[in-house]
Amino acid sequence: MSNNSLLNQTHDPKLTSWVESANVSGGDFPIQNLPFAVFRRSDSAENFRGGVAIGDQILDLAAAKDSGVFSGVAQQAIEACAKEQLNDFMAMGKDVWSALRAALSQALATGSAAQNSLAGCLVAQADAEYALPCRIGDYTDFYTSIHHATSVGKKFRPDNPLLPNYKWVPIGYHGRSSSIEISGSDFKRPKGQTKAPTATEPSFGPCKRLDYELEVGIFLGKGNELGQPISIENAEDHVFGLCIFNDWSARDIQGWEYQPLGPFLSKNFASTISPWIVTTEALAPFKAQWTRDMNDPQPMPYLESEQNRASGSFDIQLQVSLETEKMRTANESAVKLSQSNFKDSYWTVAQMVAHHTVNGCNLQAGDMFGSGTQSGPEPEEAGSLLELSNAGSEPISLPNGETRTFLEDGDNVIMKAYCQKGGAVGIGFGFVEAKVLPAE
């Protein structure tokens, strides 16, 4: 299946919206995007409910439900979206998601007869606050950037940075769901056990090597029964959409605890996602070829398909910025630390789904995958401070004279993502941010 067969009228670059702010060139939320979040008016006692971004507005789906504009499958979908969590909508599957997208696209398009009925269903994003888009039943973090795995591995094994399984197995591990929070949720620097290389005993205290990880979050839609793997051919049909994901990491706690069962307290104190889920369908114009170097092992059959080769990758530009306390006080802008692209991932989203279920493991609507830190092939494309500061040995200089090896209290980390390719109208993910508060 080629890329083009995934495109339909909702991707038409000529489409514009009667919500004028959606037609501004380079904005995150043109009518070709239509991502989902759960929101309410800031500081209100309203129920949280589903919404769709259009320009600088949110189409309130609880209000739209009663607008009389929608019918049939689209109306059923909107009723599911009017709830406080999108799990029921996500579980309805690809055809329903697609029917709602088509209906929303028509209703929000310039000249739509629905404009009068829907104009009153808009809430300005500036007036909104967000909640997690769904109940995240299980969260799995992958490790799909070979550039990240190699540069982290080099610090431990300079001559043999990649473990022998890396090019065969889409490495992943289970994470903690309860501590995943929505953008803007500041968190305290974690405390824990650490052991300096030269120390004879571990000590206890606030983390001294706090880091971010620039990741893509992947939301599962329709699940599978226990014992019934999802084939790679069907894998993307189970993926509802993508967000931006910051998987905060306490490197010193991680170094002491992670053998032999993997990272634990070094990760589960906080993870932060962007509010907007950009659907797989909206991302269709930004699918890209996936290739595997001929000198590398080729994927096992359960990880291999023609479609995955043709369009398994997502061309999504990622970037991370830092706003320190000092910058905030001086009213200075955040500073870009690095950028990378999700298309450089060694494994695709479809391969993650097929691998995760090949043993029969069941996925459920609302489950989330992290892509793992997305570092690109160049050193300046590193997705963590661990890499950018060479494990803390080479401080980064910031324009205002500050330096960083790892994160300081008051640091606000901001991540953005944007798709821009060929003749398609570019779409954005908004942003995810959160601030490090001092340890208790």
Give the CA count within 13 Å in the CB-facing half-sphere of 402.
18
Cα distances (angstroms) measured from residue 65 to each of 2, 79, 110:
35, 6, 21
Among 45, 158, 178, 401, binds its own copies (CB under 8 A): 178
Residue 44 CB, nearest distance to its own copies (Å)?
Answer: 22
Structure tokens at 367: 């489950």
Structure tokens at 251: 């490197």
Residue 130 CB, nearest distance to its own copies (Å)?
Answer: 17
CB nearer to its own copies: give 333 or 359: 359
Please list every residue from 80 through 119 that binds its own copies, using CB under 8 A: none
Among 3, 362, 390, 420, binds its own copies (CB under 8 A): 362
Among 6, 93, 187, 326, binds its own copies (CB under 8 A): 187
Stretch that binds its own copies, among 168-176, 315-323, 341-349, 411-419 (CB under 8 A): 168-176
Among 40, 251, 343, 356, binds its own copies (CB under 8 A): 356
CB nearer to its own copies: give 172 or 221: 172
Q: Does 188 bind its own copies (CB under 8 A)?
A: yes
CB nearer to its own copies: give 123 or 354: 354
Is 304 within 8 Å of 278 (Cβ atoms)?
A: no
CB nearer to its own copies: give 59 or 365: 365
290 C-beta neighbours (distance < 10 Å), count: 22
Residue 68 CB, nearest distance to its own copies (Å)?
Answer: 35
Residue in 148, 238, 355, 356 annotated catalytic = 148
Cite the DSSP H helix spans in 196-237: none
Cα distances (angstroms) measured from residue 12 to each of 8, 30, 182, 312, 402:
7, 11, 31, 21, 46
**Which residues does 157 contact at the CB level (< 8 Å), separation at least 6?**
none
Binding mask 296-335 for its own copies (x = CB under 8 A): -x--xxx---------------------------------
308 C-beta neighbours (distance < 10 Å), count: 24
Please list every residue from 245 through 274 that binds its own copies, using CB under 8 A: 250, 253, 256-265, 268-270
Stretch that binds its own copies, among 173-181, 339-347, 385-393, 394-402 (CB under 8 A): 173-181
Count of residues of this chain found to bind its own copies when the rule CB under 8 A is applied: 64
Which residue, among 42, 35, 207, has the nearest Cα to 123 in the 3D structure? 42
Is 328 within 8 Å of 197 (Cβ atoms)?
A: no
Distance CA 276, CA 104 (A): 16
Q: What is the CA radius of gyration of the chain?
A: 22
Among 30, 50, 55, 175, binds its own copies (CB under 8 A): 175
Q: Does 25 bind its own copies (CB under 8 A)?
A: no
Q: Does 418 bind its own copies (CB under 8 A)?
A: no
CB nearer to its own copies: give 177 or 341: 177
**Which residues does 198 contact at the CB level (< 8 Å), separation at least 6?**
none
End-to-end CA distance of the chain: 54
3-state secondary structure of 151: helix
Instruction: Mark whether 174 is an active-site residue.
Output: no
Give the CA count within 13 Å in the CB-facing half-sphere of 387.
27
CB nearer to its own copies: give 36 or 248: 248
Among 6, 169, 310, 335, binds its own copies (CB under 8 A): 169
CB nearer to its own copies: give 21 or 364: 364
CB nearer to its own copies: give 175 or 383: 175
Residue 368 CB, nearest distance to its own copies (Å)?
Answer: 12
Q: Does 202 bind its own copies (CB under 8 A)?
A: yes
Q: Does 196 bind its own copies (CB under 8 A)?
A: no
Sign of the C-alpha dihedral computed for residues 32, 38, 41 and 46 taken in this order: positive
Distance CA 373, CA 376 (A): 10
Q: Does 361 bind its own copies (CB under 8 A)?
A: yes
Structure tokens at 67: 């607008």
Structure tokens at 280: 């797989």
Which residue, among 360, 279, 364, 352, has the nearest Cα to 312 in the 3D structure? 352
Which residue, among 440, 423, 404, has the nearest Cα to 211 in the 3D structure? 404
Residue 174 CB, nearest distance to its own copies (Å)?
Answer: 4
What amino acid positions are annotated as catalytic residues? Answer: 148
Q: Which residues bind its own copies (CB under 8 A)?
A: 137-138, 140-141, 143, 163-165, 168-169, 171-179, 181, 187-188, 190-193, 195, 201-202, 204, 223, 226-227, 229, 250, 253, 256-265, 268-270, 297, 300-302, 355-356, 358-364, 367, 440
